[in-house]
């Protein structure tokens, strides 16, 4: 292991003065701008000589301070060499005499005032009327980072296909420029139910109000969302399916007022739930009009396990026949087990077995990639 050299202060000063003259030879006179380079040279010399003195610490501190000052400026030019390459060039052969190569400290690219703006900045300025400052701010905040117009154009096309005029699209992008970097088929498609133009929104509002919803309630918002997510054709098809299971038009409206999300349930799932409820359990389908939210629960994880437990209790006379059929489906799992499984001590083991078998089967199907209807 090398031992540190112990040099007196006079010797250190001599070394530094010699290197100052070498800087003059390479870069000319020592001015304010190349003080940074002189400091870098001093630091390299002291590190090479492995001198541990107060001066080395002072130079190190000054070096770091000047690094921040020069490197964090808008147009930092390392060693005052202007270049468009990603690696600054050191062509002067005298620079190779430095004890430590300056390239070790080159971690940024020099820029100049004449450099062109990033593509995304120009895109915002030319297409959406951004000012230079606001476009550059969006770029620096990493809200927009793209080099081709393909994805940004697809976002604009997405809004146009949903009936948005160019004036509205301009306002949207000015408020949320990051949308231009999003994937329309992945992210924006999820927001499609909320993309309502003014005309369609007015029609939907009037239609929901006509069904008896109070605009001051939160249910009104859910009803508006369900109505907008379901086309007129699909709505009529779902109503026809419910009618086949014994519901009337009034029952559909009443259930929709109670729980608007029920109309977001697919036709396939409506048929599966009704088939299990009516054919396997033997219950009246009209009972679901009182708790239509049951249609939105998982058939395999929620409806089937609980339905079989309640059916067993009815068959054994452990539950009154006139008791509500839908009440057991409103409780949390913990409360359901307490009220309808563990409270019947003699039958609790069998009831728990029925419940857990169906739950395990549902998770097994899910793990095997078998899709559940929504």
Domain boundary at 249, 279, 309, which?
279
Residues 163 and 214 in one domain: no
Rounded Cα distance, 346 and 330, in Å: 25
Domain assignment present for 284: no
Average pLDDT over residues 149-170: 81
Residue 174 pLDDT level (bands cut at 50, 70, 90) = confident
Rounded Cα distance, 226 and 256, in Å: 10
27: which residues sit within 8 A by CB, 6+ positions away?
34, 37, 80
Which pLDDT belongs to residue 227?
A: 83
Which pLDDT belongs to residue 177?
A: 86
Lowest mean pLDDT among 26-30, 153-157, 197-201, 343-347: 26-30
Domain boundary at 130, 151, 183, which?
183
User: Tokens 């899709």, residue?
Assistant: 371
Which pLDDT belongs to residue 243?
A: 97
Domain boundary at 46, 73, 105, which?
105
Which pLDDT belongs to residue 1?
A: 44
The answer, yes or no, to whether residue 69 has pLDDT greater than 70, is: no
Domain assignment present for 152: yes
Residue pair 329/288 in contact (Cβ under 8 Å)? The answer is no
Residue 13 pLDDT level (bands cut at 50, 70, 90) = low
DSSP reduced 3-state for 182: coil
Which pLDDT belongs to residue 195?
A: 58
Question: How far, in whole angstroms, is CA 168 from its chain's centroid?
Answer: 24
Domain assignment present for 291: no
Rounded Cα distance, 186 and 163, in Å: 19
Q: pTM score > 0.85 for this model? A: no
Domain of residue 316, residue span = 297-374
Residues 253 and 311 in one domain: no
Domain assignment present for 318: yes
Residue 302 pLDDT level (bands cut at 50, 70, 90) = very high
What is the count of structural domains for the chain?
A: 4
Q: Which among 144, 106, 101 has a CA at the least distance from the CA of 122?
A: 144
Domain assignment present for 79: yes
Domain assignment present for 267: yes
Residues 83 and 126 in one domain: no
User: Tokens 């009529």, residue?
Assistant: 236
Residues 309 and 273 in one domain: no
CA angle at residue 46 from 40 to 47, to 5 degrees?
Answer: 85
Could you tell me which residue, 201 or 9, shows the higher pLDDT?
201
Domain assignment present for 1: no
Which pLDDT belongs to residue 73?
A: 40
- What is the per-residue DSSP string for 154-177? HHHHHHHHTT--HHHHHHHHHH-G
Which pLDDT belongs to residue 283?
A: 96
Could you tell me which residue, 121 or 76, shows the higher pLDDT?
121
Residue 147 pLDDT level (bands cut at 50, 70, 90) = confident
Average pLDDT over residues 22-42: 51
Digit-coded pLDDT (tens) for 351-370: 999 999 999 888 887 777 66
- What is the per-residue DSSP string for 87-143? S-----GGGGGSSS-GGGG--S----TTPPPPHHHHHHHHHH---HHHHHHHHHTTS
How buried is residue 307: exposed, middle or buried, by Cβ count under 10 Å (0-12/13-18/19+)?
Answer: buried
Domain assignment present for 289: no
Residues 305 and 368 in one domain: yes
Digit-coded pLDDT (tens) for 227-255: 877 888 999 999 999 999 999 999 999 99
């Amino acid at each position: 292991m090398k031992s540190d050299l112990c040099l007196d202060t006079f010797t250190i000063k001599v070394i530094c003065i010699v290197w100052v003259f070498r800087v003059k030879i390479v870069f000319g006179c020592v001015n304010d701008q190349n003080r940074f380079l002189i400091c870098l040279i001093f630091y390299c010399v002291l590190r090479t000589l492995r001198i541990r003195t107060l001066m080395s610490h002072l130079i190190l501190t000054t070096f770091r301070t000047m690094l921040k000052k020069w490197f964090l400026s808008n147009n930092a030019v390392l060693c005052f060499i202007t270049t468009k390459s990603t690696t600054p060039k050191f062509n002067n052969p005298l620079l190779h005499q430095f004890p430590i190569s300056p390239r070790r400290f080159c971690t940024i690219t020099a820029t100049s005032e004449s450099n062109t703006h990033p593509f995304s900045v120009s895109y915002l300025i030319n297409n959406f009327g951004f000012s230079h400052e606001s476009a550059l701010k969006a770029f620096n905040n990493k809200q927009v980072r793209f080099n081709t117009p393909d994805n940004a154009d697809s976002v604009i096309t997405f809004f146009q296909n949903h009936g948005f005029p160019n004036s509205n699209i301009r306002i949207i992008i000015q408020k949320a420029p990051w949308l231009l970097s999003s994937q329309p088929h992945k992210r924006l498609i999820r927001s499609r139910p909320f993309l309502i133009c003014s005309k369609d929104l007015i029609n939907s509002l009037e239609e929901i109000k006509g069904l008896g919803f109070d605009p001051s309630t939160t249910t009104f918002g859910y009803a508006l969302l369900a109505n907008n997510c379901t086309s007129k054709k699909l709505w009529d098809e779902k109503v026809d399916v419910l009618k086949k299971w014994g519901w009337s038009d009034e029952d559909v409206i009443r259930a929709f007022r109670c729980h608007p999300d029920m109309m977001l349930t697919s036709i396939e799932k409506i048929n599966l739930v009704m088939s299990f409820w009516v054919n396997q359990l033997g219950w009246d389908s009209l009972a679901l009009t009182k708790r239509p939210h049951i249609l939105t629960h998982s058939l395999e994880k929620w409806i089937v396990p609980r339905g079989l437990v309640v059916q067993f209790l009815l068959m054994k006379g452990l539950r009154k026949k006139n008791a509500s059929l839908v009440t057991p489906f409103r409780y949390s799992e913990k409360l359901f087990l307490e009220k309808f499984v563990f409270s019947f001590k003699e039958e609790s083991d069998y009831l728990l077995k029925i419940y857990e078998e169906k739950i395990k089967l549902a998770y097994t199907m899910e793990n095997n990639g078998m899709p559940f209807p929504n």
